Amino acid sequence: MLTEPRRRFFLGNWKMNLTVHEARALGAELRSESMRLDSAAIRDRDVIVAPPLLAIPGVVHELMGSHIRVAGQNMYWEDKGPYTGEVSATMLREIGVTHVLIGHSERRDQFSESDQIVNRKLRAALRHELSAVLCVGEHSDDRDTGRVVEVVLHQIQSGFDGIDRNDLDKVVVAYEPVWAVGTGRTARAQDVELVHGAIRSALADRFGREAARTVRIIYGGSLTPANAAPFLSQPDIDGAIVGAASLKAESFMKILEMDIALRARSPVSRGGGG
The yes or no reply on residue 225 touching ligand PGA (CB under 6 A) is no
Give the nearer residue to ligand PGA in terms of CB position, either 136 or 223: 223
Judged by CB under 6 A, which of 125, 223, 232, 253 binds ligand PGA?
Answer: 223
CB of 52: closest distance to ligand PGA in angstroms? 13
The yes or no reply on residue 272 touching ligand PGA (CB under 6 A) is no
Known catalytic membership, residue 104: yes
Judged by CB under 6 A, which of 27, 72, 243, 272 binds ligand PGA?
Answer: 243
The yes or no reply on residue 187 touching ligand PGA (CB under 6 A) is no
Known catalytic membership, residue 210: no
CB of 220: closest distance to ligand PGA in angstroms? 4
* Cβ neighbours for 133, distance < 8 A, ≥ 6 positions apart: 11, 71, 99, 100, 101, 102, 171, 172, 173, 174, 218, 241
Residue 205, number of CB atoms within 10 A of its CB: 13
Do the Cβ atoms of 101 and 130 come closer than 8 Å? no
Stretch that binds ligand PGA, among 28-36, 81-89, 91-99, 240-248 (CB under 6 A): 240-248
CB of 134: closest distance to ligand PGA in angstroms? 12
Angle at 97 between CA 28 and CA 84, to 5 degrees: 115
The yes or no reply on residue 137 touching ligand PGA (CB under 6 A) is no
The yes or no reply on residue 220 touching ligand PGA (CB under 6 A) is yes
d(CA 15, CA 146) in angstroms, rounded, equals 30
Residue 11, number of CB atoms within 10 A of its CB: 25
The yes or no reply on residue 232 touching ligand PGA (CB under 6 A) is no
Residue 71, number of CB atoms within 10 A of its CB: 24
The yes or no reply on residue 13 touching ligand PGA (CB under 6 A) is yes
End-to-end CA gap in the chain = 15
CB of 97: closest distance to ligand PGA in angstroms? 17
d(CA 265, CA 267) in angstroms, rounded, equals 6
Tell me the HSE value of 50 on the side-chain side, using a 13 A CA sphere.
Answer: 26
Judged by CB under 6 A, which of 5, 52, 57, 182 binds ligand PGA?
Answer: 182
The yes or no reply on residue 50 touching ligand PGA (CB under 6 A) is no
Do the Cβ atoms of 202 and 273 come closer than 8 Å? no
Stretch that binds ligand PGA, among 40-48, 117-125, 153-161, 235-243 (CB under 6 A): 235-243
Residue 266, number of CB atoms within 10 A of its CB: 8
Catalytic residue among 62, 113, 176, 193: 176
Do the Cβ atoms of 220 and 242 come closer than 8 Å? yes
Catalytic residue among 99, 104, 193, 196: 104
Which residues face 46 on adjacent strands? 9
The yes or no reply on residue 217 touching ligand PGA (CB under 6 A) is no
Residues at the site binding ligand PGA, with contacts judged by CB under 6 A:
13, 176, 181-182, 220-223, 241-244
The catalytic site residues sit at 104, 176
